[in-house]
Amino acid sequence: GCGTGGGNNSTETSGSEQTWELNLGCIANNPTTSTGYNSIGKAILEFTELADEYTEGKVKITPHWSSVLGNNVQLYEQIMMGELDFHIGQPMSSADKRFAAWNVPFVFESLEEVKIGFNSETGVLFKLTSNWMEENGVKLLAVNTSVFRGVISQDPVYVPADMKKMKIRTYEDSLVNKFWGEIGTASIIAGSEIYSALQTKTVDAMEFHATGTMSFKLYEVAKYFTDLNWQWTNGATLTLPIELWESFPEEVQKALQRAADEMVERQYSYEIADQEQVFADLEEEGMTIIKPTDEQRQEWIELSRGMDDWFKDYVGSEAYDEYMAAVAENKAAMK
Amino acid sequence: MQLLLISIMVFVIMIMGAPVAYSFGLGALLFLILNGLSLGPVASTAFYAMNSFAFLAIPLFVLAGDLMTRSGIADRLVGFSSSLLKNVKGAMGAAVIFASMFFGMLTGSNIATITAIAGIMKEPMMKMGYKKEYIAGVLAASGPLGYMIPPNTNAIMFAVIASCSVSDLFLSTVVPGLIWAIMMMVVNRFLYKKYYDPSVATEEYKEIAIRDGDKIPGETIGTYFKDLGKTFVLTIPALIMPLIIFGGIYGGIFTATEAGAVSGVYAIILGVIITKNMKAKGIWDSFTSTGKQMGTILFITPFAAIFTYVLVTNGAPAAIANFFLSVSNNKIILLLLLDAVFIVSGFFVGPAVIIFVITPLLMPTAAAMGIDTIQLGVMLFVAIGIGNITPPMAFNLFIAARVVDVEVSKVIKPLYYYFIFTGVPMLLLVTFVPELSLWLPRLISG
Amino acid sequence: MKTIIRFLKPINKATGVLLNHFNGFLIFTIFAIVLYTILCRYVFNINTGGIDEFTVYCMTSSVWVGAVLVSRNYSEGQIKIDLLRTYVKNETVMAVFDSIWQIIGIIVMAMYTNLSFKYFIYQLKRGSVLSGVNFPIWVFTGIMTLCSALIAIYELSYIVHLINSRLLSKRREG
Ligand code: NA
Ligand code: NA
């Protein structure tokens, strides 16, 4: 059977008039209430609307926001098991070690590069990811460009040495811990305690995106944001069980793919607009924005490249090489 | 419709005595099977439901409480506060409420508050002659003070979905929180007698218990302070504990959850060195007994999560909200209906679903009625406090009953008074008097 | 029947002792890791290497192990509301209701054990790991499966115990 919706919730009337009522799980917040800096939430909602429109009402997708159906680990696992219809979020490396490749620091230079690489028709990175996921029984429909991550801190951060004495909040991911552990003291703090931990200075810094700093109100408890783009988060990938995908007639598949592709375009344009606004907003809220110079950024990159052997070992050398080759091919194609 | 019937069935078999966990489990499995839905998500939903740092405070504070009791620190703390409040009627009930507020300054969680305060207060209160059901009732009722007094983890979640300031939300609940605490103390003042019998106090507590609330013949200010001084000296090592926790959290050494482990270490040190009540065996017993308590306190969580999964994937929260909001256009009636949605949904779903699923459904209506987002947040936080004591989904009630080791059904009665005379009036108050919530944030952040 | 019981009793007892200490060990692990985290961060300025993630999984396991210990002991039992008992004083009626809840418990736990086992096998095959420390998750789903099976068994044995004691008391009366 195809999970909570899938074959189960589908109601067959006659022949080609089959309709589907499906569930989508994500950790994003409902954009009708969380309006600001929520490019992913907006894109997800619009994907469900477009899917409805392009399938002429045959596919109704109900989005379930704010992790009410589980976190990313759980949601992607449900997709692999065929128990959830759609997931838009981050497929975690606990499910497939190769996915850790996306977390390697300082790989992409711009969101545009990401967008081209993960274009569902032509992107080399999309094809690679799609092959990996197929082995998990998962159909990859689209990869949103999502966001880059920077650094929030109580004292200014320009170069890695500035963080030597800092306690840096991270989450449960070996690769992320490894990177920040080389720079300062990495400490895992639960999401619900971040705000208080910054306020009481239990941690001095954390890695996060600028838009999240706005929506989680972290500017209230921290002074600096360094626009470092240290890591791209593969945070809004649209997947579904292959079994469910193959149960759709061809015209439904086409319609869903079209909706997914359009979602990517929209998320990208929302995110670009957000990026143009976010730093001004953070400054207005009293934060100081630090834009590292090319030389300063180079220090970070060199430090990161010095850990490449570790990353490669962690991701698995075959997957790491495949991924980096695809990244290089994509960079070459851009020029 | 079927889902409604199944929810009612869960409620009925639960109040007839079926274990809470199995009632939720049965309801969820029945619905999935009757509708031919996949049972595949059941085990992983249950497994990941507990898999949250939010619950970590429970084992740590249950352990700390157990260690504090075994070490004798709890006795000394309570002895001191009872000397201090010796002429106050129902002093120990009031002390629970006061201590919950105090602990609220350290944690943002009501569960941590209940487990931490229960750990210190339950044994001495029982020895003084307070009935277990009342101790559990006061603990469950005053649990929300743990987040009404900032910090507040619910506020952190709400701030994200409602795009408002966390620190404004922190400030907004201070006045309502204090009023709520005073209401609770008033209810306690009238209610405690029904559940207090000093004649059954143990030998060591006889003296304290008998005089609780009554003037002792021949007592002067001199003897009062002499007695107070005596208990104070005994309590000094115990009083250092809150200082360590306070200093540790506000000094940025550890988080509120981690504070549970630090209190445990301090209790062991005191028990071994100062009170000399503790042996290795006793310490190990604390660990095993905490483990066993986890098997009842949190065993509900996986099954409640499966039931919640069924409710959420089948549109129940939306149905509840839409049903109520379609009734009227009159502002006062709408406000009352908003409260009704909060209270009714609070019966069946836990805080996360109320915050992330129900509240977003209510926000457009609330906005159209001109309710400030901050005020809506405060209404939500009060509603969560109420929802946590109303079964079937009533974690404060279940946890308090379990840590005090008393039947849930017995706790319902004293808790009912707190529900009617503090919970509901508090919700109405914050609904109809926005200034209670908005005054302090405006004063401070302008 | 009697020989079976004679044979099972020491096994039951050993299981109880073992699980009790194992659970104490799980709680101790949580306690120790949290303290270690604080020391690493605040005193030594070193990384914990992601070991923090263990705490939550140990907690999950302690809940399941604790639930076995609770269902092992007939007099304790899981959290229930039990309003009925305050109104109905008839022992036989209550015994009937108790048996019904017990049967519900057996059904729920037996079904859950089955589902949990499938999930365990799935994770075993996939080799999912805790991303912080690279520890296999199936160890914890395995504990969950084993515990839910034990709970089902103890609930079943409780019903046998209930019926036996009813029959015994009937026989004594008669
Ligand atoms: Na608080
Ligand atoms: Na409730």
Range of the domain at C151: 1-171
Q: Given CA atoms A108, A109, A115, A116 in this order, what sign does their dihedral have?
A: negative
* Among the partner residues B41, B163, B166, nearest to A34 by beta-carbon distance: B163
Q: What is the mean pLDDT of chain C?
A: 88
Q: Whole-angstrom Cα distance, residue B327 to residue B332?
A: 12
CA gap B191, A10 in Å, rounded: 55
Give the pLDDT score at B357: 84
Residue A231 touches partner B, C-beta closer than 8 Å? no
Confidence band for A2, pLDDT divided at 50, 70 and 90: very low
| Closest of B101, B41, B115 to residue B297, by C-alpha | B115
Give the nearest partner residue to A174 out of C50, C122, C126, using CB atoms.
Answer: C50
Q: Is B360 close to A30, i.e. CB distance below 8 A?
A: yes
Q: Give mean pLDDT, residues B432-437.
A: 95
Work out the angle at residue A219's Cα, subtended by the Cα atoms of residues A213 and A224, and round it to the nearest 5 degrees: 90
Q: B295 and C26 in contact by Cβ < 8 A? A: no
Query: Residue B82 above 70 pLDDT?
Result: yes
Q: In this complex, do B38 and A1 lie within 8 Å of one another by their Cβ atoms?
A: yes
**Residue C57 Cα to ligand 2 middle (Å):** 27
Say how far apart CA A173 and CA A100 lie, in whole Å. Answer: 9
- Return d(Cα B445, Cα B435) in angstroms, integer: 15
Cα gap B406→B404, rounded to integer Å: 6
| A 237-296 residues with CB < 8 A to B | none
Q: Which candidate from C56, C64, C69 shows the least CB-CB separation from B52? A: C56
Beta bridge partners of A167: A185
* Chain A residue with Cα closest to B170: A196
SS3 string, A188-213, reads: ECCHHHHHHHHHCCCCCEEEECHHHH
Q: What is the mean pLDDT of residues A71-86?
A: 94
Model confidence at B228: pLDDT above 60 = yes
Cα end-to-end distance, chain A, whole Å: 46
Q: What percent of chain A has pLDDT over 90?
A: 86
Q: Is A231 helix (H, G, I), strand (E, B) or coil?
A: strand
> What contacts B13, CB < 8 A, 6 or more positions away?
B23, B26, C101, C104
Q: A167 to chain C, minimum CA–CA distance in Å? A: 7
Q: How far apart are CA B433 and CA B372, in angstroms?
A: 12
Distance from CA of B296 to the nearest CA of A (A): 23
Which residue has better confidence, A91 or C6? A91
The reported pLDDT for the residue numbered A7 is 39
Q: What is the pTM of this model?
A: 0.90
Beta-carbon separation of B253 and C38 below 8 A: yes
Total count of domains within chain C: 1
Q: Does the pLDDT of residue C15 top 70, yes or no? A: yes
Q: Which of B288, B403, B415 to mutate to test the interface with C (most CBs of C within 10 A)?
A: B288
Q: What is the mean pLDDT of chain B?
A: 88
The alpha-carbon gap from C44 to the nearest alpha carbon of chain A, in Å, equals: 9
Per-domain residue ranges for chain B?
51-445
Render pLDDT for B414-431 as a digit per residue (tens, 0 to 9).
999 999 999 999 999 999
Q: Partners of C80 in the beta sheet?
A: B19
Closest to A172 (Cα-Cα) out of B51, C63, C123, C124: B51
Better pLDDT: B45 or C82: B45
CA distance B291 to C67: 9
Distance B396 CA to ligand 2 centre (A): 9
Range with the largest mean pLDDT of A157-171, B432-446, C49-63: A157-171
Three-state DSSP class for A181? Answer: helix
Who contacts C122 (Cβ-Cβ below 8 Å, separation ≥6)? A81
User: Is residue A210 predicted with pLDDT exceeding 50?
Assistant: yes
Chain B residue with minimal CA distance to A218? B166
Percentage of chain A beyond pLDDT 70 is 95
* Cα pseudo-dihedral A105, A109, A113, A114, rounded to 10: 30
Rg of chain C (C-alpha set): 21
Greatest mean pLDDT among A298-312, C126-140, C152-166 lies in: A298-312
C129 → closest Cβ in A94, A177, A203 = A94
Residues of chain A contacting residue B253, judged by C-beta atoms under 8 Å apart: 202
pLDDT at position B48, please?
Answer: 92
What is the tens place of the pLDDT at every residue in A216-245? Answer: 999 999 999 999 999 998 999 999 999 999
CA B332-B338-B341 angle, to 5 degrees, is 145
Query: C-alpha angle B257/B262/B268, rounded to 5°?
Result: 140
**If you average pLDDT over residues C2-10, what whole number do you get?**
76
Does C129 contact A185 at a Cβ distance shorter than 8 Å?
no
Distance B211 CA to ligand 1 centre (A): 33
Strands A20-26 and A86-89, bridge-based pairing: parallel
CA of B113 to the centre of ligand 1 (A): 9
Spatial distance between the Cα atoms of B215 and B213, rounded to a whole number of angstroms = 7
Q: How far is the CA of C80 from the centre of ligand 2 (A)?
A: 14
Q: Are A115 and A202 in contact (CB under 8 A)?
A: no
Q: How far is C29 from chain A (nearest CA, A)?
A: 17
- Residue C1's pLDDT band (boundaries 50, 70, 90)? low
SS3 string, chain B, reads CHHHHHHHHHHHHHHCCCEHHHHHHHHHHHHHHHCCCCCCHHHHHHHHHCCCHHHCHHHHHHHHHHHHHHHCHHHHHHHHHHHHCCCCCCHHHHHHHHHHHHHHCCCCCHHHHHHHHHHHHHHHHHHHCECHHHHHHHHHHHCCHHHHCCCCHHHHHHHHHHCCCHHHHHHHCHHHHHHHHHHHHHHHHHHHHHHECHHHCCHHHHHHHHHCCCCCCCCCHHHHHHHHHHHHHHHHHHHHHHHHHHHHHHCCCCCCCHHHHHHHHHHHHHHHHHCCCCCHHHHHHHHHHHHHHHHHHCCHHHHHHHHHHHHHHCCHHHHHHHHHHCCCCCHHHHHHHHHHHHHHHHHHCCHHHHHHHHHHHHHHHHHHCCCCHHHHHHHHHHHHHHHCCCCCCCHHHHHHHHHHCCCHHHHHHHHHHHHHHHHHHHHHHHHHCHHHHHHHHHHHHC
B127, B400 in Cβ contact below 8 A?
Answer: no
Question: Which residue is listed with tokens 């020029």?
Answer: A335
Contact B65, B403 (CB under 8 A): yes
Among candidate residues C45, C55, C31, C65, the one with its CA nearest the CA of residue C143: C65
**Has residue C75 got a pLDDT over 70?**
no
> How many whole angstroms separate alpha carbon A58 and alpha carbon B297?
45
Using alpha carbons only, what angle is made at residue A179 by residues A176 and A182, rounded to the nearest 5 degrees?
140
B5-24 pLDDT, tens per residue? 999 999 899 888 899 999 99
Which of B 90-129 lie inside 8 A of A, CB atoms?
Answer: 108
Res. A5: pLDDT tops 60? no
B-chain residues near C26 (CB < 8 A): 291
Q: What is the pLDDT of residue A15?
A: 55
The total of other beta-carbon atoms located within 10 Å of residue C24's CB is 22
Which pLDDT score is estimated for A14?
Answer: 52
pLDDT over threshold 80, residue B87:
no
Angle at which helix B434-445 crosses helix B424-432, to 10 degrees, equals 60
- C-alpha torsion C14→C20→C21→C27, nearest 10: 160
ipTM: 0.91
